[in-house]
Amino acid sequence: MKLKKYICAAAAMTVFSCTAYAQQVDIYVNGNIISERGYLENDTTYVPIRAVTESMGAQVSWDGQSVHILKDEDTLVSSLIADASDSVVAIVGNYSSGSSTADKYNEMTAHGTGVVIKSNGTILTNAHVVSDITNITVVFNDGTSCGATIQCIDEDSDLATIKINKLGLKPINFGSPDDIVAGRTVIAIGTPLSLNMRNSATKGIISGKDVPVSGCMYPLIQTDAAINGGNSGGPLIDLNGNLIGINSSKYAGIGIEGVAFSIPLETINYVLDQFEKNGKVLRPEIKVSFEESWEAKIGLPTQKGLTVKNSHSAVLADGDIVTAVNGIPVHSITDYNKAIRDSFNGTLSITFTRGGAEMTADADYEMK
């Protein structure tokens, strides 16, 4: 099939011999460059079928007359796990002196997972993986290890970056927030329970998106891919091998199965951008407390806003009902935090009702 413009990946393509006058072009499949090159001739791009399809985890054969391409899920998943594992690391360290976690479990060491996001040695993980440990060590899939230091940390979003003194690492490919769709297959990679299980993989689906979870500032991805102790900080990838979430927590208990959570790309991108600009996450804080409606507290859909309590704001008073932030409707505290994450650009425009009258004003705030 002749391609009228250059593309990064396709399911089936025809091989043509390169002429001396053709312009050679690089070929990227799911963001990764492959070893062979295509060529451009007369506004048509030709690509090597075997190199492209095999880089996508497919099997290619030729019977003398026809090209046969086989891409089953088992082949695809195993290829994705092998490829992503070069970017996934185990993180191990010693609990800090006097740590309540160490006292609770009578353990001196802790471990979790991280994922390489920059070739210069920057690794993304959960804040709770590294916030309470010292002597942090990163262990790669091949067994090599390096000492690491905490670079940036944000406990509110439960994200952190650590840094090792090593160049030329393979960063994970980032997906798009639009790729987070309920029902799509995902793979979780991490270090559950023991370092002997380094880079273990589990498969499941996205069970839900934008799921509010008690104690979490922003909504999460819900998945039934198995996540256990030590998986925290590892990647949740899609069937393109792209990062769509960081595995962080799960519900556990009698009668509870397959309810795990990952931090989605929207939050990851926001936090990493803040780390890059400020070395930490700066958020606008209004000097008030909010109370959710009873419907919001139990997870029922509601159009009710947030009731202002204990106000020390020059704009908002106790009893005001906040219904929107920067034009985005808010019905829960998670909605409020998400609206600020997605819209704050120096102004905090608050829509609220007071005595039955609706009004909008720029609220006073502090960056914290």
For residue range 64-114, list pLDDT tens digits in order.
777 767 666 677 788 889 999 999 999 999 987 655 554 444 557 889 999
The reply to whether 21 falls in a domain is: yes
Instruction: Exactly one of 87, 232, 248, 262 is catalytic; name it.
Output: 232
Instruction: Assess whether 184 and 259 both reside in one domain.
Output: yes
The reply to whether 275 falls in a domain is: no
The reply to whether 276 falls in a domain is: no
Average pLDDT, the chain: 87
User: Does residue 293 have an active-site annotation?
Assistant: no
- To the question of pTM greater than 0.85 for the whole model, the response is no
Asked which of 25, 41, 70 is the last residue of a domain, the reply is 70
- Report the CATH number that the domain containing residue 218 is assigned in CATH: 2.40.10.10
Task: Tell me which of 56 and 5 has the higher pLDDT.
Answer: 56
Instruction: Assess whether 157 and 236 both reside in one domain.
Output: no
Give residue 101's pLDDT. 52
For residue range 335-346, list pLDDT tens digits in order.
999 999 999 999
Q: How confident is the model at residue 293 (pLDDT cuts 50, 70, 90)?
A: very high
Give residue 240's pLDDT. 87
Instruction: Exactly one of 55, 83, 87, 128 is catalytic; name it.
Output: 128
Task: Tell me which of 2 and 257 has the higher pLDDT.
Answer: 257
Q: How confident is the model at residue 12 (pLDDT cuts 50, 70, 90)?
A: very low
User: Does residue 68 have an active-site annotation?
Assistant: no
Instruction: Assess whether 66 and 131 both reside in one domain.
Output: no
Residue 141, pLDDT > 50, answer yes
Instruction: Exactly one of 85, 111, 157, 158 is catalytic; name it.
Output: 158
The reply to whether 39 falls in a domain is: yes
Give residue 258's pLDDT. 81
The reply to whether 328 falls in a domain is: yes
Give the residue numbers spanning the domain of 97: 82-164
Instruction: Assess whether 179 and 100 both reside in one domain.
Output: no
Residue 347, pLDDT > 90, answer yes
Please state the rounded mean pLDDT for residues 246-266: 86
Q: How many domains does the chain have?
A: 4
Residue type, 95: Y
User: Does residue 26 have an active-site annotation?
Assistant: no
Please state the rounded mean pLDDT for residues 186-209: 91
Give residue 57's pLDDT. 62
Residue type, 29: V
Asked which of 218, 245, 270 is the last residue of a domain, the reply is 270
- Report the CATH number that the domain containing residue 307 is assigned in CATH: 2.30.42.60
Asked which of 245, 270, 295 is the last residue of a domain, the reply is 270
Instruction: Assess whether 157 and 178 both reside in one domain.
Output: no
Instruction: Assess whether 185 and 246 both reside in one domain.
Output: yes
Task: Tell me which of 62 and 186 has the higher pLDDT.
Answer: 186
Instruction: Assess whether 179 and 254 both reside in one domain.
Output: yes
Instruction: Assess whether 291 and 258 both reside in one domain.
Output: no
For residue range 109-124, list pLDDT tens digits in order.
889 999 999 999 999 9
